Amino acid sequence: MKTIASLSVALLVATATCELAAPSTGTSSLREEAQKKDILIGSGAINPDYLNDTRFAAVLAEQFNSLSPENEMKWVFLNPAEGQYNWQTIDRLVDFAEHHDMVVKGHGLISSCCNPDYLLKITDAEASRTAMKAHFEAVMHRYHGKVDRWDVVTEVLETMGGGLQHNYFYNVTGPDYIEDAFRIARAADPSAKLFINENQVEAIPSKRQELYDLVSGLVAKGVPIDGVALQMHITEVAVVPGVITEMVDSYEALGLEVAIAELDVHTLNNTLETEIYGAVIAEALSAGITDISFWGFTDKHAYTWVPGAKPLMFDENYKAKTEFYATHKALSGFIDTCQ
Ligand code: XIL
């Protein structure tokens, strides 16, 4: 006969087990579907501290075959002082990925924020280039063979378009900092794919053209670039059908690939949000995109500028939302049609 004490131990164990397990989605995982066609389905915005939450870690490993950090690879966080590197945070992500048979995308070599004081104090173009080279080499050599692709530069254009952002590198070196970054990155790790990461081009036609002009200029000059990473932080308005396909076709003609790097949808309208997830994934896949990442997966850790929005595929308690099922349907539908 069970005693009260043994019953309460059993209850405690059950409660603990419940806390550890993420709710089942009741269907195959995104990565199971994706791997049938060698598609990368990833989550960015992975702060390594989130892995302390076993449910977070379980859903990440179950659903995705690629991950990338949130801010931890941006210059000031990884390399706050000359020669000083905080490797342990990124090492933890890389180890997690290896353990779960995932690939890692590097994000933040040059970002639109987050430059350390030691760099900002350098005002001579040649010295700034030397600092860029030292930083890229340290980071890319350490993660050679472990990080398969990089956002080399992020948000080089003004948010609404209308020229290059006057960031630190532009101010010190001029527009050539972009090609310097790609050449230095290629030399530091010839085996990694190199991307230019940009926002809003799917929403603003003039910015779309501006990015195309910039990238085709780089290609014409022989700058080593492999692709364009579309952030795709979508706010309220669906992408016009055909725009993703048009971008893929035009960059393919330059010999480049297009990836989706940071998809999430910011609106209070869940029906619209779900439709946007499904439509973007369906068009991206049929246009030939094989590398799709979201900017996180659980609303528990969402980064949003729309108060109250819940932009991701799983809720705060790791329950799959309609956005997950729309993504899953688009992905599995695509896999089925091409089998
Ligand atoms: C964001 C992070 O998610 C935030 O935590 C941080 O406060 C600001 O940067 N595009 C990018 C990412 O390329 O680096 C940004 O990440 C989101 C927009």
Q: Number of C-alpha atoms within 13 angstroms, CB side, residue 118?
A: 14
Whole-angstrom distance, CA of residue 239 vs CA of residue 155: 19
DSSP letter at 155? -
Our answer to whether residue 252 is catalytic in this structure is no
Pocket test for ligand 1, best of 49, 71, 78, 165 (most atoms within 8 A of CB): 71
Mean pLDDT, the chain, whole residue set = 94
Read off the pLDDT of each residue in 240-268 and give the average, rounded to a whole number: 98
Distances (CA, A) of 293 to 27, 160, 168, 233, 254: 20, 23, 28, 11, 23
As given in the structure block, the two tokens for residue 188 are: 């530091």
CA 146 to chain centre: 16
CA 150 to chain centre: 10
Pocket test for ligand 1, best of 70, 159, 231 (most atoms within 8 A of CB): 70
CA 331 to chain centre: 18
As given in the structure block, the two tokens for residue 28 are: 């195959």
Tell which residue, 189, 201, 186, has the closest CA to residue 155: 201
Whole-angstrom distance, CA of residue 105 vs CA of residue 327: 21
At 339 the pLDDT is: 63
At 230 the pLDDT is: 98
At 21 the pLDDT is: 79
Our answer to whether residue 155 is catalytic in this structure is yes
Provide the whole-model pTM: 0.94
Whole-angstrom distance, CA of residue 326 vs CA of residue 309: 18
> What lines the ligand 1 site, CB under 6 Å?
45, 70-71, 111, 154, 197, 231, 262, 303
pLDDT band at 38 (very low <50, low <70, confident <90, very high): very high
Choose, from 70, 262, 273, 283, the residue flagged as catalytic. Answer: 262
Read off the pLDDT of each residue in 308-334 and give the average, rounded to a whole number: 98
- Which 3 state secondary structure label does DSSP give 259? strand
Which atom of ligand 1 is least distant from the CA of 108?
Answer: 14
Name the phi and psi angles at 277, rounded to 5. -55, -50
Those residues with Cβ within 8 angstroms of residue 168's Cβ, 6 or more apart along the chain or in another chain: 115, 119, 120
pLDDT digits (tens, 9 = 90+) for 120-147: 999 999 999 999 999 999 999 999 999 9
Angle between helices 87-99 and 54-63 (to 10 degrees): 60
DSSP letter at 245? H
CA–centroid distance, residue 70 to ligand 1 (Å): 7
Whole-angstrom distance, CA of residue 104 vs CA of residue 44: 9
pLDDT digits (tens, 9 = 90+) for 266-319: 999 999 999 999 999 999 999 999 999 999 999 999 999 999 999 999 999 999
